[in-house]
Amino acid sequence: MINQTAEKATPEKTRSCRPVKRNILITSALHYVTNIPRLGTISGCVGSADVYARYCRLRGYIVICICGTDEYRTATETKAKDENCTPQKICDKYHEIHKQVYEWFDISFDKFGRTSTPQHTEICQSIFKKLMENGYFSENTTQQCDKCGKLLNPTELKDPRCKCSAFEISYFLPLLKGKLDEFINDHSVAGSWSLNAIQTTYALVREGLKSHCTTRDLKWGVPVPLENFEDKVFHVWFDAPIGYISITSCYMPDWEKWWKNRENVELYQFMDKDNVPFHTVMFPCMLLGTGENWTLMKSISVTEYMMHETGKFSKSRGIRIFSNDVQETNIPSEVWRYYLLANRPEVVLGYYLIICFLNHDWVRDTFFMWADLQVKLKAELLNNLGNFINRVLSFIAKPQGQGYGSIIPDGSGAESHSLTKILAERIGIYVDQYIEAMEKVKLKQALKIAMSVSSEGNAYLQESKFWRLYKQDQASCSLVIKTSAGLIYLLACLLEPFMPSFSLKVLKQLNLPTENQFSLCDKDVERARKPWEILPAGHKIGTPEPSFKELKDEDVEFFRKKFFGSQAERVAKGEAEAKKMAEILDETKN
C-alpha cells in the first residue's frame, strides 16, 4: 500500500490527455459569485467533486478537476450598486472569499477559475456563432423580468404585464430533441446517472421541450457578437455552463484535447438538484448543435438540499451556518468534511418510489443539526476511528517490556492465525466494495465502507486480547499489532479522498513521508488483502496523539446561539457587548 512510484497529479502532469489510461474530467457546478457557499455546497457538488477527483488520482487515472465562480448575472450589478463599486470589483472580492473557503476545506481543484475572463468571452461567442451558422437560432420577442429572472413569452401569457420588465428582441435556441433523446438514453445508462437527475430530466422531456431566450438587456455579461445587439449580453443559462470550458482553457493551452475528445475523455459533473436542467438538457443541446466533437457528460451526480435544523439556510432570516463561518468553530476541517459527506443528501433506490409518489422535497433533503454533528463526531470518529488508531500506536510506542519501543514488530505466521486470516478476508471484501462504490460515484456508501474497516480493526483488537498475548504469546501479539498498524495505513489511504488532512496526520504519526504516499492502483489493492505486509518490520513510528476531540454539550449550545439570528442582529449584539465591555473598562480605570 505504500506508494513508491505513483506521481502526484500536478498541473504539468495532467495536461496530457492519454488514450490508454482513463482520462477523467470533473466539474463542480459554478456558484454565483455573490452567494457565500452553503454547507450543502461542500456536502454536494464541491466536496463531492473533490472526493471523486482525489479517488481517481489514487487509482492512477489522468484527472482534471474544474470549478469557479459564475459572475455574469443581474445580482452582480445589483450588489455592485449597493457597495458603490464596479461589477468587476465585486467579483474580485467574492471570488477570493469562495477561494479561501474551499482552501480551508482542503478542496483540490486543479483550477478554480471564473467566467469574467477574455477566454470565456471568446469561447462563448465562438459557440454562439457556430450555432448561428447551423441554423439553430430564431429571432423572437420576449419580456424579461430582471427581478424574478423568469422568461416571459407574451404570446403564452394571459395577462402579459410585468412592472419590473421590458420587451426585448432576442434569439432563441431551439432544443434539438432527436439528438438530445439519443444523448439522454445512452448516457443516463452508461454513466449511471443519479436517480434525481434521471427523474428531473425525463420530466422536462415529457413536458415538451421549448426554445429558450439566449440574450438579454444587461451591460455586465458576455457581449452578443451581432450588429444592433451592442447593448445585449448572453443569458446566464447560456454562458455559465461554458465556464467549465473557458476555465479549463485558462488552466492549459491544449484544452481542446479534453473538451473536444469525446472518445477518450469521461466527463463527470457534480451539482445540486436545481442545476440539473442546465446540464442534462441545455448544455448538451448547445454542444450538440455546433456539430463539433465536444466531450459530453458521461455521469452526473446530483444531491438534494441540506437544510438547517430550523429551516432552509437563509442569512436574511438568520437560519445559517455557512461555509465561511465554520472556521470560527475551531472544529477541524476534516471533521466538517466527514460530517458533511457522511450526510451527503443522496436519493437511494429504496426511497425512489416513495419520493415520486409523495412528491415532497423534504423527503429527500437532509438536515444539518448541531447535536447530530456532536453525536457522529463522538461515536464514529472519536470512539471508532480515533480509538482504533490511538490504541494501536500508543501500545507500539510504549517502552520495551510494556510495548515495542515505537518499532513495528516482526509479525509472521498470518496464514496459520485464524483470527488474522478471517480479518484479511473481510478487509479484502470491504476494499472491493469501496472501489465499486467509488467507481459508481456512490460516495456516501464508500465512506461508510471505509469506516467499517475501522470497526473491523477494533473488533480484531478486542477479540485477540492483545494485552494478554503480549505476556503469554509474543509471536501472536506481534502479528496482531503489525496487522493493525497496516490497517491504520490502509484506513488513511481509503479516507484520504474524504479527510485528506486527517490522513496526513496519520502519516505523521506513522513517521512516513507525506508526499506521494497513497495509491489505490490494482497492485496496491491486492496488497491490502495482506495488511500485515503493508508496513515493514523495524520501522520506527512517530509520536501518537489523539486524532479527534469531543464536542461538549456547552459547545453545541454556544454554537447554536452564536449562529442564530440575522447578520444585522448579530452585528448589533456584538456592538452592544463591545460597548458594555468598554464601559466596564472605563469604570475599572476610574
pLDDT, tens digit (0-9, with 9 covering 90-100), for 540-561: 999 999 999 999 999 988 888 8
286: closest CA among 113, 140, 142, 124? 124
Q: Given this model, what pLDDT does residue 217 score?
A: 86
Q: Given this model, what pLDDT does residue 477 score?
A: 97
66: closest CA among 281, 295, 224, 347? 295
pLDDT at 581 over 80: no
Q: In whole angstroms, what is the distance from residue 189 CA to residue 299 CA?
A: 9
Among the ranges given (53-57, 231-235, 310-314, 448-452), the one the predictor scored with the smallest mean pLDDT: 310-314
pLDDT band at 7 (very low <50, low <70, confident <90, very high): very low
Mean pLDDT of 495-502: 97
Q: Given this model, what pLDDT does residue 5 score?
A: 36
Q: Given this model, what pLDDT does residue 318 score?
A: 45
Mean pLDDT of 35-53: 88
pLDDT at 516 over 80: no
Q: Given this model, what pLDDT does residue 19 score?
A: 54
What three-state secondary structure class fits 138? strand
pLDDT single digits (tens) 411-435: 889 989 999 999 999 999 999 999 9
pLDDT band at 17 (very low <50, low <70, confident <90, very high): low
Residues facing 319 on adjacent strands? 314, 564
pLDDT at 345 over 80: no
Mean pLDDT of 285-304: 92
Mean pLDDT of 266-286: 90
pLDDT single digits (tens) 202-220: 888 887 777 888 988 888 9
What three-state secondary structure class fits 298? strand
Given this structure, which CATH class describes domain 23-154+165-303? Answer: alpha beta
Q: Given this model, what pLDDT does residue 357 score?
A: 40
Class of residue 549 by CB neighbours under 10 A (exposed 0-12, middle 13-18, buried 19+): middle
* φ/ψ of residue 464, rounded to 5: -75, -25
Most confident of 113-117, 232-236, 346-350: 113-117
* Cβ neighbour number for residue 356 with a 10 Å cutoff: 11
How many Å separate Cα 38 from the centre of its chain? 12
| This prediction's pTM | 0.86
Q: Which residue has the cell 443516463?
A: 188
Distance set, CA 260 to CA 67, 122, 175, 391 (Å):
19, 16, 21, 52
Of residues 582 and 114, which shows the higher confidence score? 114
pLDDT at 468 over 90: yes
Which ranges constitute the DSSP H helices of 406-539?
Answer: 418-439, 443-464, 466-472, 474-495, 500-510, 522-527
Q: Given this model, what pLDDT does residue 44 score?
A: 80
361: closest CA among 273, 441, 459, 476? 273
pLDDT at 350 over 80: no
Q: In whole angstroms, what is the distance from residue 520 CA to residue 525 CA?
A: 6
Q: Given this model, what pLDDT does residue 565 score?
A: 52
pLDDT at 396 over 70: yes
CATH of domain 383-540: 1.10.730.10
pLDDT at 568 over 50: no
Q: Given this model, what pLDDT does residue 162 score?
A: 44
Cβ atoms of residues 498 and 337 within 8 Å: yes
Q: To the nearest whole number, what is the mean pLDDT of the chain?
A: 84
Beta strand 62-70 pairing with 31-32: parallel
What three-state secondary structure class fits 311? strand
Of residues 123 and 324, which shows the higher confidence score? 123
pLDDT band at 583 (very low <50, low <70, confident <90, very high): low
Cβ atoms of residues 411 and 368 within 8 Å: no
pLDDT single digits (tens) 151-205: 444 444 445 444 344 455 677 888 788 888 888 888 888 887 878 788 888 888 8
pLDDT band at 67 (very low <50, low <70, confident <90, very high): very high
Among the ranges given (167-181, 505-519, 568-582), the one the predictor scored with the smallest mean pLDDT: 568-582
Any idea what the Cα angle at residue 315 is, between residues 314 and 320, rounded to 5°? 70
Which helix (H) or strand (E) is 300 found in, with range? Answer: strand 297-303
Domain ranges of the chain: 23-154+165-303, 313-379+550-574, 383-540
